[in-house]
Structure 1
């Protein structure tokens, strides 16, 4: 194979150049240049692999590890907070139950005190009512006694007036005896 040079002075394979010395078509498709292209491809891939494995991938791995650590810590913190919330909720429920029990106890005690005071007041009121009733019955019996006496007096006066209107003179003892007999029944 004979090499020719291009205007830039680089050797070019004869199969991939035209009569004027310039490359024909796409140089990467020239089979004469495949070995050179594969060599530089491998060198470039090795350089990219070296850069990625030594610089970029460790940084990415560190960021991923940091994120995973943060997520793990956040999950653990959330679980711990959830446990605290459950404990606080249990304490709240217990204190609420205690408060309800205490309120019921206070309510029962207050109800018992009020009932005792009510019973005391009712018995005092019953005693006052009984006293007033006794006084009223005594007053009524006195009024009855005076009423009967007043009825006797009025009946005697009316009888004397009736007898006087009839033209007779009334005897006071006879009128009283007649009224007394009628009142007895």
Structure 2
């Protein structure tokens, strides 16, 4: 698996198939995959003088078109998967691990004051449901399912399900089983 690019690993999560760069380009008809492709190209080439400007402008165009507010400064692990397109905000200082799924309407934001001042750090194999809100300098463990419409502003241990507003943690060894497919 190490011979595959980050883009190939992201696209593998969608179909469970390793694709050539040509086949990846063909799959870019899907807005989610198209945005991930542009985001990863921007992360890869964003600092190259002329090419970087092109990819930054292209990313900005598709941020507006698709409603994804994800910046190239955001550290995102391989196997990133966006479940649906539209209305997604992720703070650029956020760290996201491998094999993470994020649905529409999610906000992952910075808290500007208080004991949790800062941005979240999200572990590996985390599934974040529609309209969930995650804020502050908190750590989300590995194998965590954050249910739709949950508000999370505290640390979440690994192997947990988080649900509600205010959120409640339920330990579960198989929290994301059946939710995260085609892990890399």
Q: TM-score range by the shorter chain?
A: under 0.3
Instruction: Specify which structure has the bigger relative contact order, considering alpha-carbon pairs within 8 angstroms and separated by 6 or more residues.
Output: 2
TM-score of the pair, normalised by structure 2: 0.14
TM-score of the pair, normalised by structure 1: 0.14
- Normalized per residue, the structure richer in helix is 1
Q: Which has the larger radius of gyration?
A: 1
